[in-house]
Amino acid sequence: MSLEGVLFMKAKYFFAESREAAEASALVYFGCGKENMTLEPVAGKEEPGRCQLLAMVGSPEEVANMDAHYCLYYENDGVYLELYKERGAGYPLESESLMHHLARKKIENIDTSAVRALIKQATGRVKIARVQKEYIYGEDFIVTITADELQANAVLLAPEPGGVQLDLDTAKKRLRDAGVTHGISEDLLAVLLKTKDYGNSMVVANATPPKAGDDGKLIFNFSTDEKTGSPREIECGRVDYKSLDLYVPVVEGQLLVTRTPATGGHPGQTVRGKEIKQKPGKEITFPRGKNVSINDNKTEMHALYSGMVEVVKNSVNVSRVYNIKGDCDLSVGNIDFDGSVHISGSVRSGHTVKATGGVVVGGSVEAATIIAGGNVEVKGGMQGADKGIIEAAGSVSISFVERGTVQADGPVTLDMSLHSYIESGDTLTARGKRGAIIGGRAGSYGSITANIIGGNSNTRTEVAVGVTPRKRARLKFLEKDIERLKREQTKLERQEMYLVKSQGSMNPESWGILRRSCTEIRRQNAEILKDYQAEEKNLRYDLKHATEGKVHVFETVFSGSRVLIGSDIYNANDEINYVSFRYDDGHIVYGPCELGKAGAMQ
């Protein structure tokens, strides 16, 4: 019996005492006429009384372009392998396919050296094993598992004629035997076995991916959107022009913040059954607050009082609101309020408004002073006449500043700054129709973003990013005062040594008073010195890392402008358009605006 390496037999070697006898055997074997057969003597095989022919069935064109193939013959004296070399445009032998076929045939005691020699020869016939019964193989699997064990693929191998076909249970067992114990898809296996898509790889098992934990979330149960200063809408689409959108009102007991704790997630599993660790969710810090109540497990925050709520530096503060209808003028006087102040009109020249919370102004600010422990929002602008001042522990939002001073620990947002001093502990953004910083000085701990810096007439304008001027001044003060305190400590140490030596020569009561006074002053100085040194260390760290800020300009930097980053200064002698300044290796460099035109201020 024989098995071919192709779908139909095209060739075979025949041995006989004569050519005529060999041809007769071929005609009988193939059962066709001589006109449908090509007979060729095997070169080098002619022996006296013995002839070997290669018989090939097919048209002359088919024979001329025959693919290489092979056949196995189980004969009385052993198992034989025949190879037939390709011809013309035919495909050469796939030795790997041949070796795989021999492995599936489970031939006992196979002579692999004889097989390799015949493959190298590419044509001929050789005995490769002793006499044995032929094994007819059925359908089988080749299972491959990806390196990350996230997927298993199976290639269904075709059976020999009469070979047993795989059923679903046997197929699953073969997968388990190959190490696939998880994620096996019976549906995909059934499709593969039904379609008989031999030789093509198909996914039959998938890992279960891990489910990452959800990060903790803060839900602010009040609007944190930027206030527009526009009239508030009331029922039926009407608006109340006396109630501007300048702050967020709250009532006593109102739920302000809800925290959803992080979850641990669920592990996954590879197709080999190994655990895939999941990434647990990251917990979020619950915000601090003023005039609020927080439950024990820090999942809810409520307002203790009715008033206004604002977010200042990751702190949710509820402030009692002092409402002023109209202007802050002589009829109102100066204001110093423990809470927030809402002025529907303007703050007139010469007046001072102080609030531990935020300050909102529906009109404008003249040559007045506003000092807030929270955010400051001004619907109009400031005409400061070189005397107007706004200081805020939070952010400042204002239309324009003309000859005024704005100092904020948080971000500053404005449309135009004209010959003013602006300082932000966060970012400074000039946005709107103009988005201009013209004249004066603007400083920001973070970045500065504007449409225009400077003016047509070489207006001297300075913008600085990094450590703010107030911090630089504070550092100089600390340096001097630390030296002063060290000198004081030295004097006090000498005084104490003198008191120890003179204890016997002084009035005991006077000596005790001097000794206690000296010790207390030394203790106080030591505490102040420790605090100052810690503050100085932090400021020096800020100064060292003050080179990360950038200046982004969407339109023009005019001649006469100066850009300060770190220890370097860039003086603009010509107009520069659409540019970003940054600090690099000790110098300020610039290139095209890094924010892109899509980010330009409107």
Model pLDDT, residue 7:
36
**508 and 595 share a domain?**
no
Instruction: List residues bridging with 289 in a β-sheet.
Output: 316
Please state the φ and ψ torsions of residue 478, each to the nearest 5 degrees.
-60, -40
Model pLDDT, residue 599:
46
211 assigned to some structural domain: no
Query: What Rg, from alpha-carbon coordinates, does the chain have?
Result: 46
374 assigned to some structural domain: yes
Domain boundary, last residue among 544, 567, 588: 544
Q: What is the pLDDT of residues 524-544, one digit of tens each?
A: 999 999 999 998 888 887 777
Domain boundary, last residue among 172, 206, 240: 206
**576 and 522 share a domain?**
no
321 assigned to some structural domain: no
Is the pLDDT at 8 greater than 50? The verdict is no
Model pLDDT, residue 320:
84
Q: Which residues, in sequence order, are CB contacts of 183 under 8 Å at separation 6+?
A: 152, 205, 206, 207, 208, 269, 271
**150 and 170 share a domain?**
yes
The answer to which of 24-38, 438-452, 501-515 has the lowest mean pLDDT is: 501-515
**347 and 431 share a domain?**
yes
Q: In terms of Cα–Cα distance, which of 279, 275, 276 is closest to 263? A: 279
Q: What is the pLDDT of residues 286-312, one digit of tens each?
A: 999 989 999 999 999 999 988 788 888
**232 and 305 share a domain?**
yes
Number of domains in the chain: 5
Model pLDDT, residue 466:
83
Model pLDDT, residue 240:
55
322 assigned to some structural domain: no
358 assigned to some structural domain: yes
316 assigned to some structural domain: no
Residue type, 551: V
**532 and 567 share a domain?**
no
Section 461-466 average pLDDT:
92
Domain with 518, as residue range(s), is 471-544
Q: pLDDT averaged over the chain?
A: 88
CB 377 within 8 A of CB 393: no
- HEC per residue, 187-226: HHHHHHHHHCCCCCEEEEEECECCECCCCCEEEECCCCCC
**419 and 455 share a domain?**
yes
**537 and 583 share a domain?**
no
330 assigned to some structural domain: no
- 258 to 11, 221, 225, 263, 474: CA distances (angstroms): 83, 7, 17, 16, 39
323 assigned to some structural domain: no
The pTM of the whole model exceeds 0.75: no
**65 and 194 share a domain?**
no
The answer to which of 49-58, 210-219, 351-360 has the lowest mean pLDDT is: 49-58
Residue with tokens 């947002």: 413
Q: Give the confidence band of 238 by pLDDT, cuts at 50, 70, 90.
A: low
**42 and 122 share a domain?**
yes
**478 and 411 share a domain?**
no
Domain boundary, last residue among 110, 129, 148: 129
Q: Which residue has the higher pLDDT, 420 or 50?
A: 420
**93 and 153 share a domain?**
no
Q: Which residues, in sequence order, are CB contacts of 73 under 8 Å at separation 6+?
A: 1, 2, 79, 80, 81, 82
